[in-house]
Structure 1
Amino acid sequence: MSKNNDLCQYSDPSGVHCHEHANNSGYCFWHDKTTSKAEECFKEALENYAKSGGLLRGIQLKHADLSNIDLVNHHQKEGFDFSYADFYKANLNGAHLFNINLNHASLMKADLRGANLNCANVQNTNLLGIRWSDSKIENLKVGRKLKQEIEARAAFKNRDFSLASDLYEQAEEVYRDLRKHAEHEGIFTMSGHFIQKELTMRRMQMPKYSFNRLTSKIVDLFCGYGEAPLRIVGISILMILCCAVLYAFTGLNYQGEVKVFDESAALEQNIDLLWSCLYYSVVTFTTLGYGDFAPIGISRAIAAFEAFTGSFTIALFVVVFVKKMTR
């Protein structure tokens, strides 16, 4: 038998290979799914293996009792790399996991109560069913999308709508658990992000052309489900500008004189008209109504729509802003 055949067969998607000695299964003790990790001395052995520079990527730790384990890479900038590792139903109660890299790993149904996950990287990690109580998650790196969210979008693209709906439901559950725990820990910026994602996942489970989904999308665009007051400001500015352009083409009455865009007029005259229309759009949107300009014809309908939308938008901004500030 060649020397290479004595080595562990583990190889992850990034092309990293294990060089530990293989047992009868073809894998080393750490990467063998069939090897029990329930021995009392296993926790200490794992700590020593990590400190000695052993390959931690992809190791199999299902059901392992790792309560209060210390997996912090002390005095080093980078934490231990547990990418692709499997912690399914592992007991990590009170574990020290500061700055640990769990990219593409599985923490499904793991017990993380009281664990320190500050600065941990859990991007593309399965976080379904985790017990988060009293765990520390400041600066937790979750990434822009959860593993289930990415897979759901891929399933939807492949027209597997049943699988996509199931994965979106799982993603909603994970975001909800993270949001609740972030709120409990007082990390409101993080909880605000998670509630946006939670409600987005809920929307994605609705029928594509339903009224509820359309309403949910509009609320998201306007204010990020109450978590993005600056979106309201941006939409308000856009609406004011659009209405100003419409007023320029439909006309306004100023002291008995109709002001409307005329391509044959001088450039300065049309620019002055645009400024006047912008001014009128602002006072209409904010419902000030000075009365120096008056809409005519179609402008009346535009002004009515802008005034109604403006009063609603300003009220919405106040509610969202106060909500953010009081937290």
Structure 2
Amino acid sequence: MCDYIYSDGSKCQEAPLEGSRYCALHISFEEGEKLVWREKLEELKLSAVARKLQAGDFNFEGAYLYTFPLTWEVLEEFGIKEIEDNIILSNANVLEVIIRGREDKPLKFKDLLIYNANIQELYITNSQFHGIYSIPSTVYGILSKKTNDLVEDSNVSIVDPNLFKIEELQTLLDSNCYVGKLYIILCEGSTLWLNGLKSLTIVLSESNVTDIWFNSSMITELVLGKNLSVSNDINLKFSAIKTGKLIPPIKIGGRLYLNYTNIHSNRFAVEMFNLAKRLFKESSRPEDLDNLEYHFYREMVARRKWKVELAKEDWKITNKKSFKKLFRFLLVKFGGILEWIFLDVPIKYGTSWKRLLSIWFSLVLIIFPILYLLTGTVPGIKSYWQAIYFSIVTATTLGYGDFHPEGLGTFLASLEAIFGTFMWALLITTLGRKYLNSS
């Protein structure tokens, strides 16, 4: 018998190839091609697959296959009308997996298990199944571009109900799942829970799904295509996304979570954070107020950076020869710096009154009093407490007149008075915005 031992402890019942301890299914490509020609090895492996399918056995754990064809044509050849078990490709190495039904008769099965698998390309079309369990597998291509015509006519339904429990969260965050291209098109009633993915191109389009979870993922390109409908939430927390696009109309019944998500493309960041902000604004839950403020702030930061990028690109188009566009770029850049100094740093675009008060107290109660004492430019001030008193009176523009600055002190006092007036205006704006959002 073959020396391969399945994860449940049972041994493979297939006969080993001559000169090897493993059967045609479990012999590696390298070892097998030393014994026979590749074409012959491929033929032996397909014959082994056919025998298992004919016996109603869909467990291909640990198999080395050039191709794994699971189509209605193949199943009907063996008199199989339906698949009642899971399709298991865990720990397998497969160059191409083809799972294909017909438009009038989708291929139905329970789950596709590809734990710890190495799969070069995975094609699924006209199929309906409960779940895809891929963590921590390596999948280099799922529904790749060369099958776009096939995908667009398909009726794929992916349902992944509550795959992971809370205690398994750390496993998800530490998972090592690599996917080249993931296309979810024309899906019905599915929960997509694929946390911890890396190096992805994800396209979600013309589908009705329940939830989308891609926490702690590294995504090269994320496309939320037209007619995408999500009943509940889209969760992309702690993820890194290089670029992407939103193609309306998109309907999201819940919320879009982008907390601690880094989106490299400022254009896409503006689109995503704006969408998230609008969804949180429509929510009536009090706990969503903080998320509304957070996503609004992230949108404004991305919008500021995007403006500078657009102006710079506009100047580069002229091969950096247009003085007018260079001047516009520098003006936008300078405006961005001022926006950062006066709106981002002190109040985070009106979302943080705590930061504003921290700055106010730090400057009025510590920085300016120390400057008045060190410079000695306010006659009569001999102690730190007197310096604090003068600083507060100056910042609030009360001006009792019991202390009169001289020389450099007049400049410091004038600067503090301007600062105090500006800070009060920002505080009123911030608190007013908080009140309006909460109501």
Q: Tell me which residue corresponds to 2:353.
A: 229
> What is the CA-CA distance between 1:280 and the residue it aligns to?
1.2
1:47 to 128, 153, 159: 159
> What is the CA-CA distance between 1:277 and the residue it aligns to?
0.6
Cα-Cα RMSD? 3.7
Structure showing greater radius of gyration is 2
* Counterpart-to-counterpart distance in 2, 1:49 and 1:136: 18
* Counterpart-to-counterpart distance in 1, 2:66 and 2:232: 31
> What is the CA-CA distance between 1:112 and the residue it aligns to?
3.9
Query: Does 1:115 find its partner at 2:240?
Result: no
* Counterpart-to-counterpart distance in 1, 2:411 and 2:160: 75
Q: Which runs of 5 or more residues in structure 1 are unaligned?
A: 10-16, 72-78, 150-166, 261-272
Query: Does 1:103 find its partner at 2:217?
Result: yes
Relative contact order, higher structure (CA 8 A, sep 6+): 1
Once the two structures are superposed, the pairs formed by residues 1-327 of structure 1 within 5 Å of their partners are 3-5=27-29, 6-7=64-65, 19=92, 21-23=94-96, 26-29=120-123, 31-33=142-144, 34-35=146-147, 36-37=150-151, 42-43=156-157, 46-47=158-159, 58=179, 60-62=181-183, 64-71=185-192, 80-81=194-195, 83-84=197-198, 86-93=201-208, 95-97=209-211, 101=215, 103-105=217-219, 106-110=221-225, 111-117=227-233, 121=237, 123-125=239-241, 128-129=245-246, 131=248, 132-137=250-255, 140-146=257-263, 149=264, 167-186=265-284, 187-204=288-305, 205-206=307-308, 207=329, 210-218=333-341, 219-240=343-364, 241-248=366-373, 249-254=375-380, 259=381, 273-327=383-437
Q: Is the 8 A contact 1:67 1:91 kept in 2?
A: no
Q: 1:24 to 1:38 in 2, by over 3 A?
A: same
* Counterpart-to-counterpart distance in 1, 2:303 and 2:353: 21
* Counterpart-to-counterpart distance in 2, 1:169 and 1:88: 18
> What is the CA-CA distance between 1:70 and the residue it aligns to?
3.9
**Which one has the bigger strand percentage?**
2
Q: Number of aligned residue pairs: give it.
A: 272
Deviations 1:156-199 (A, max 9, x none): xxxxxxxxxxx322322222222223223353322322222222
> What is the CA-CA distance between 1:19 and the residue it aligns to?
2.4
TM-score (norm 2): 0.52
* Counterpart-to-counterpart distance in 1, 2:260 and 2:245: 15
Deviations 1:1-32 (A, max 9, x none): 884443489xxxxxxx9726443895343535
Deviations 1:63-112 (A, max 9, x none): 521132244xxxxxxx554725654142332x122655472345403344
* Counterpart-to-counterpart distance in 1, 2:160 and 2:275: 33
Q: 1:194 to 1:288 in 2, by over 3 A?
A: same
Q: Which runs of 5 or more residues in structure 2 are unaligned?
A: 1-23, 30-63, 68-89, 99-119, 125-141, 164-175, 309-328
TM-score (norm 1): 0.68
Letter in 1 for 2:281: E
